[in-house]
Amino acid sequence: MKRNWYTFIIICCLLITFSACQSEEELGSNAIGYLRLGLEVNTSSITRAEAAYNPKQLAVQIVNASGEVVKETTNFETNWKGETIELPVGTYTVKASSAGFDGATSGFDKPYYAGSTQVTVKSEKSANATIECTLANVKVTVNFDQTFKDAFTGAEVEIDDKAGDAGISPLDFIMNQTTQSGYFPVTDLKATVSATNKNSVTNTQVNEITDVKARDHYILNYKVGETTGGNVTVEVDPATKTYTFNIEFPLVVPDQPTLAVSSANAWAKLVYLEGTMNGNNVVEVDPTKVAFQYREKKADATDEDWIKVAAVNENGTYKATITQLPPATAYESRLVYGEENTFTSDVKEFTTEAATALYNGSFEDWNKGTGNYKNTWFADAAVSADFNKSFWDSGNVGTSTGMAATLGAKNPTSPEETIVHTSGKSAKLASTYVVIQFAAGNIYTGNYQETIMNPMGARINFGQPFTARPIALHGWIQYAPGEVNRGKDTNLPSDATLHLGDTDQNAIYIALSDKGAPYEVNNGKKQFIDFDNDPNIIAYGELPQAECVATDGWKEVNIPLVYRSLERKPTHIIIVMSASKYGDYFVGSDSSVMYVDDFELVYDGEPSVQE
């Protein structure tokens, strides 16, 4: 009996011990502590001009040891100041920074403050933490001495990152206009001052600011120098991290004109060059003696390689257009003055664009899709040509899949091996009537998305990625139109050029867009691209109405692209060819047939420009 009693006591003790340990573990995993935060903003470098910016609106994040944000606010002053924050026991990093601004960009009167600290929260106890937020970006102030203002009619200082690759936006400090300080990310900077004297001559000078650190304040004081050199002295206040640059700018005009190639807009086979030239009291500018020179960039290039072209003076800007250049080639250019090229500008480099070919423009490559699209023809070289994968698409998806397939799949657009311009294949676009709807024979760059039953139509994406700038679209067509016998006149747009009973017309057009994405078209809802007014269309061309008629065999077509801007570059190309011009409105002839072959993009010559 004693042994059993002792055993019972030992078991009870073990149970009590286990229970106590379990409660302690539970207490540890659910224990709560408290945190009171205080924030201090070191605004010693804030001036009156920056009063509009409120550095006290600070965002705060509380981050646990796993790097997870457990609590945060975008306004400490309003939401957390004086409050006790309840947190699970643990170690936290508390981060504070100016709300709504990440310090990664430049700007006037936009100081960025940040700070952090670590705090440990213990069970049922209050922890206190104070964060000192200091300036996390770099401040720049530009001053023009009165002697400088008296000597120059205008001046501007551009502050940018020294290497030119930090991705920040430069800030311009204009004499007699800019009063604010500028703020920049922590990176080495360069200050480029351009000053125009009373003789209308503009000179520039560049000064670098290196070894830049957060909280630095650089004050640039521009003064008139007594010599042609630009002396610089620097005063440093380590206590406030203030660096005062006293910069002398030469008032004496150099004994030569200033030339520069200001821009080189390079296309695939041409380049538009622009340059400037400023004279002075010593050299009187004769515009007829200004010219451009260019040469291919290579290691062994010599002065004999320079090719000279005349420059046209347009209101003080010198321009030249150089054509017949090879694509994807690096060049050097410069502006020169004088019979013997007495004065020259610095070299400006440019590279001609690639002359990107039109994919499968000869329509030699065709494949049927897979799965639900096994009966659908695609003008594509890929063996696995499938829905939404082909560069070229057509209405075939709507007439060969789904309900249309059960009633007998049709392909209004298909490969043709008999009627071809050159050996191989062409594309046959045969308008037809499918089930209950007219379907134009067509082909376009883009992808058919879906057939919509109510209202009857299709949703289509027009456009494929493309970044080159061709001059025109060239190719061959053979067209046999029928009499318009399908659709309703009421479906047609108000400016339609044909109606029921008329002879059908074909259509071919090309557009370049910098929208950055395809255009979605829904012909059932009559949602189309407004090529005339869409701001993203940078170039457009179409087959003239007078040429949208029957052909006697194969006919050559050349469709110039009319550019609305010579500087903008496209992201997408749209090409549409149809045997029935108003097929999008379900109006046309079910006997119209057009063959297209050997289409290509043209890069030779100069582009047409919209007036």
Q: What is the mean pLDDT of the chain?
A: 86
Whether the Cβ atoms of residue 562 and residue 540 lie closer than 8 Å to each other? yes
Residues 433, 522, single domain; the answer is yes
Which range is least confidently modeled, 206-220, 319-333, 576-590? 206-220
Is the domain of 57 the same as that of 104? yes
- Give the per-residue pLDDT at 384: 66
Please state the rounded mean pLDDT for residues 394-420: 89
Q: pLDDT tens-digit profile of 599-608?
A: 999 999 999 9
Residue 120 pLDDT level (bands cut at 50, 70, 90)? very high
pLDDT at 197: 76
Q: Could you tell me which residue, 50 or 256, shows the higher pLDDT?
A: 256
pLDDT at 342 (0 to 100): 73
Specify the pLDDT at position 147.
82
Give the pLDDT band of residue 26 (cuts 50, 70, 90): very low
Of 294, 321, 351, the residue that ends a domain is: 351
Q: Report how far residue 344's alpha carbon sits from residue 602's, in angstroms, rounded to the nearest whole number.
A: 35
Measure the CA–CA gap between 385 and 360, rounded to whole angstroms: 14
Q: If DSSP codes are grouped into helix, strand and coil, which group holds residue 76?
A: helix
Of the pLDDT bands very low, low, confident and very high (cuts 50, 70, 90), residue 90 is: very high
Q: Write down the pLDDT at residue 226.
A: 63
Give the model's pLDDT for residue 11.
33
| Alpha-carbon span 253 to 265, nearest angstrom | 31
Assess if residue 78 is contained within a domain: yes
Which whole number is the average pLDDT over 175-182? Answer: 91
Q: Which of 120-134, 135-149, 325-339, 549-563 has the highest mean pLDDT?
A: 549-563
Residues 229 and 311 in one domain: no
Residue 361 to residue 474: CA distance in whole angstroms: 10
Residue 404: its pLDDT value, please?
73
Over residues 55-79, the pLDDT tens digits come to 558 889 999 999 999 999 988 888 8
Residue 4 lies inside a defined structural domain of this protein: no
Which CATH number do you get for residue 102? 2.60.40.2580
Give me the number of domains the chain comprises. 4
pLDDT confidence of residue 137: 85
Q: Do 104 and 180 reside in the same domain of the chain?
A: no
555 lies in the same domain as 605: yes
**Residue 178 belongs to a domain:** yes
> Given 250, 270, 296, which residue is the final one in a domain?
250
**Residue 14, in any domain of the structure:** no
Among residues 235, 251, 182, 184, the alpha carbon closest in space to that of 214 is found at 184
CATH number of the domain enclosing 308: 2.60.40.10
Percent residues over pLDDT 70 in the chain = 88
**pLDDT of amino acid 233:** 81
What does the block give as tokens for 172?
């311009």
pLDDT band at 50 (very low <50, low <70, confident <90, very high): very low
- Residue at token pair 């091996």: 417
Mean pLDDT over 129-148 rounds to: 88
Same domain as 158, residue 125: no
For the domain that residue 460 is a member of, what is the CATH number?
2.60.120.890
Residue 477 and residue 377 share a domain: yes
pLDDT at 282 over 50: no
Domain that holds residue 324: 258-351
| pLDDT of 227 above 80 | no
- As a whole number of angstroms, the distance between CA 144 and CA 246 comes to 10
DSSP state of 383: T
- Give the rounded percent of residues in the chain with a pLDDT score beyond 90: 55
Per-residue pLDDT at 542 exceeds 90: yes
Q: Which range, of 273-277, 310-314, 335-339, 562-566, averages the lowest pLDDT?
A: 335-339
On whether the CB atoms of residues 472 and 541 are closer than 8 A, the answer is yes
Q: Tell me: the pLDDT tens digits for 245-273?
A: 787 877 655 556 788 999 999 999 999 99
What's the confidence (pLDDT) of residue 44? 60
Task: Judge if 431 and 568 occupy the same domain.
Answer: yes
Give the pLDDT score at 168. 82
Tabulate helix, strand, coil % of the chain (nearest 5).
10, 45, 45
Query: The whole model's pTM is what?
Result: 0.60
Q: Give, in order, the Cα–Cα distances in Å from 144 to each of 153, 232, 233, 236, 250.
A: 12, 14, 15, 19, 14
Cβ neighbours of residue 513 under 8 Å, at least 6 residues apart?
463, 519, 534, 536, 537, 538, 570, 571, 572, 573, 574
Residue 18 lies in a domain: no
pLDDT at 431: 96
Average pLDDT over residues 337-362: 91
**How far is the CA of 118 from the CAs of 88, 128, 131, in angstroms?**
15, 11, 9
pLDDT tens string 462-488: 999 999 999 999 999 999 999 999 999
Lowest mean pLDDT among 31-35, 445-449, 593-597: 31-35
Q: Are 316 and 430 found together in one domain?
A: no
pLDDT given for residue 199 in this prediction: 61
Residue where a domain stops, chosen among 227, 250, 273? 250
Residue 522 and residue 534 share a domain: yes
